[in-house]
Amino acid sequence: MAYRNLEISNRGAVRTITVNRPDKLNALNRDTLNELSIAFTQAAQDDAVRTVVLTGAGEKAFVAGADIAEMNGYTPVQAQSFSRIGQQLMSAIERLGKPVIARIQGFALGGGMELAMACHLRVASEKAKFGQPEINLGLIPGFGGTQRLLRLAGRGAALELCLSGTPIGAQRAYELGIVTRVVAPEALDEAVNALADQLAAAAPLAAAGILDAVLLGGETSIDQGLEFETQAFALAFATQDMREGTTAFLEKRKAQFKGR
């Protein structure tokens, strides 16, 4: 489909989804959230796509937040709907079953930070800025920020960032576990592309199992998580990819995974 607020491109098995509202610092309005939901659904259903990269247009912002001009006129009922649309998108990204990398080159604030945290891996430029500044607007995060930040960085960091509304740099975000890698601005594309290519070449069914196990493990007891891991481990033995991977290892060659 033709998107108004997104650009979609493919490089081999890697799909890049770019939020393309640079004049608004890629702010998330309702239309953009809906388009992102469609784009990620298409990526999930396309077997040719093995890894997704999510980024924003321009150098200033990944996504600078939700569209405040649109939110300003919301009633409580409209705000509730907007929050649910955003949360559903973030959950869909988190549960995509394929690795999603956030390429963060500038501001990732409010809804932008929430969008980044829904991705499985986050690679940031040294110039990137992160924050949950909703309190400065008399609001709280509405797209899962209080919950994912709590799980990624712990209660203290979640409370500090959400209560103060003060942005932090990429290095501090890395120290808190919010960002997985920090690189020089000129090295960002190379780092993201190399990581995306590595993940796209991996066994897709095994990757899906790992994503499911880690996601479930963060929400349940250790015993339940371990049981899920055992079942997923056993299920992998029913796949052609497992036979290909182990045979390739024994034959000292590179495995060619088919997702079967």
Torsion of CA 4, 11, 128, 89, to 10 degrees: 50
Q: Which amino acid is at 141?
A: P
CB-CB contact of 180 with 155 (8 Å): no
- Strand 121-125 and strand 181-183: pairing? parallel
The whole-angstrom separation of Cα 240 and Cα 260 is 5
CB-CB contact of 99 with 207 (8 Å): yes
Which residue carries 């430029």 as its tokens?
125
CB-CB contact of 142 with 112 (8 Å): no
Q: By C-alpha distance, which of 106, 10, 131 is closest to 56?
A: 106
Q: By C-alpha distance, which of 4, 6, 97, 99 is closest to 55?
A: 6
Q: Which residues are catalytic?
A: 114, 134
The whole-angstrom separation of Cα 208 and Cα 259 is 10
